[in-house]
Structure 1
């Protein structure tokens, strides 16, 4: 997410920068209680590494954003050899005729296709080789947030948008979403200790505590702390593949020292 250069009241609309605007958007499905759940645990690199173990190195380290000319390729992000391994895994699990499993795409896009494909595994089926973490686990929910920041750092805004579900962040257009990151140079997210999620109305909601560090294009450094709530539909008959996937449902972040 992009970060605003000034602290201002939270509002669900993008300003010149994107982080506070999107992060302050309340739960899109009346889940304020989940979003406001206190985070009593300190952030921990151990949990971040557990979530990121099946993801490319660049997703973990959140390097400097790509140039404005287009998304950073996975090959440029983590090297040709590592990128090819991710693309090969993507092709092994993806049922798509022409999946986006190409090293010229961002690592986040490749990882997103892996996650989409793995989420198609039925509750009574054994996950395909390479589907780690388990697509129904809280670690897989946290991986959505990791992937979101990986996509932003690669300037792959379409993939970042999709981490919020088919309709993107609440009350945002793709154009405003993209414009919100014009002045963000790099971001780095650390995932906190994951507590068990809760269920309601046929869905599962997983709180994901985060600390976000960002650098604006003028060199300003900012830090935010808060919670994402990641959601998926429970394993019910008739649920679509998109509904069965984890996606960001809401976020609440605040400036942190």
Structure 2
């Protein structure tokens, strides 16, 4: 299991893929993280940590054999970076583990800044395939306190995806990335 620290109020979170139709592996989406989701955010804590280049997903994945990087170990490497980034309040680094437009990063970062402490637990999952893609849906729990000192608990799944070696796929599509983080108050 992986650990991280975050403070939060009870919320629903859908980081990416909210506009796409859910399939049988993906739960219903929560509220989208964007300008509307950050309107009621608490004051910002101190500045974000600098990127941790020694532990980014590409470094961890490159240390694996090509076959291992395509499987559960590759997915877990991305989750390890995301978890560590949240624990360290490096929300920009956490955002980099998603396959999203850079323009949405600021809303994602602002959304997480409402939390003072985060404790992230990610359970192991299995790689499953569907429609030319591989998915890794990891049960996730995040607890901690908000910037106002209130305790919180979020539960749900972090779903990673990569294209399953489909001809014509780009290098970015062939890498594991977080497709969505559906976390709801518990």
**Considering the TM-score relative to the shorter chain, is it more than 0.5?**
yes
Residues 26 and 251, structure 1, Cα contact 8 Å, conserved in 2: no
TM, length-normalised to structure 2:
0.71
Partner of 1:160: 94
Instruction: Give secondary structure in 2 for the equivalent of 1:135.
Output: helix
User: C-alpha displacement at 1:155, in angstroms?
Assistant: 3.4
Counterpart-to-counterpart distance in 1, 2:153 and 2:6: 11
Q: Does residue 33 of structure 1 match 2:44? A: no
Matching of residues 42-61 of structure 1 within 5 Å: none
Partner of 1:22: 14
More strand by share: 2
User: C-alpha displacement at 1:242, in angstroms?
Assistant: 1.2
Greater length-normalized contact order (CA 8 Å, ≥ 6 residues apart): 2
Q: Does residue 111 of structure 1 match 2:65? A: no
State the Cα deviation string for residues 68-96 of structure 1 (Å, max 9, x = none).
23415xxxxxxxxxxxxxxxxxxxxxxxx
Residues 229 and 251, structure 1, Cα contact 8 Å, conserved in 2: yes
Partner of 1:5: 9
Partner of 2:80: 146
More helix by share: 1
State the Cα deviation string for residues 122-175 of structure 1 (Å, max 9, x = none).
xxxxxxxx327921122321332332132233333332112111426xxx7222
Counterpart-to-counterpart distance in 2, 1:158 and 1:183: 14
Counterpart-to-counterpart distance in 2, 1:235 and 1:221: 43
C-alpha RMSD of the superposition: 3.1
Q: Does residue 68 of structure 1 match 2:72? A: no
Counterpart-to-counterpart distance in 2, 1:177 and 1:213: 18
User: Which ranges of 4 or more aligned residues in structure 1 deviate by more than 6 Å?
Assistant: none
| Structure 1: gaps spanning 5 or more residues | 8-19, 38-66, 73-104, 119-129
Partner of 1:246: 176
How many residue pairs get matched? 165
Counterpart-to-counterpart distance in 2, 1:28 and 1:3: 27
Residues 203 and 233, structure 1, Cα contact 8 Å, conserved in 2: yes
Matching of residues 58-207 of structure 1 within 5 Å: 68-71=46-49, 105-106=51-52, 110-115=55-60, 118=62, 130-131=63-64, 134-167=68-101, 173-200=104-131, 202-207=132-137
With over 3 angstroms needed to count, the CA separation of the structure-2 counterparts of 1:238 and 1:115, relative to structure 1, is: farther
Instruction: Give secondary structure in 2 for the equivalent of 1:177.
Output: helix
Counterpart-to-counterpart distance in 2, 1:71 and 1:224: 23
Residues 149 and 187, structure 1, Cα contact 8 Å, conserved in 2: no
Deviates more, 1:207-216 or 1:134-143: 134-143
User: C-alpha displacement at 1:232, in angstroms?
Assistant: 0.4
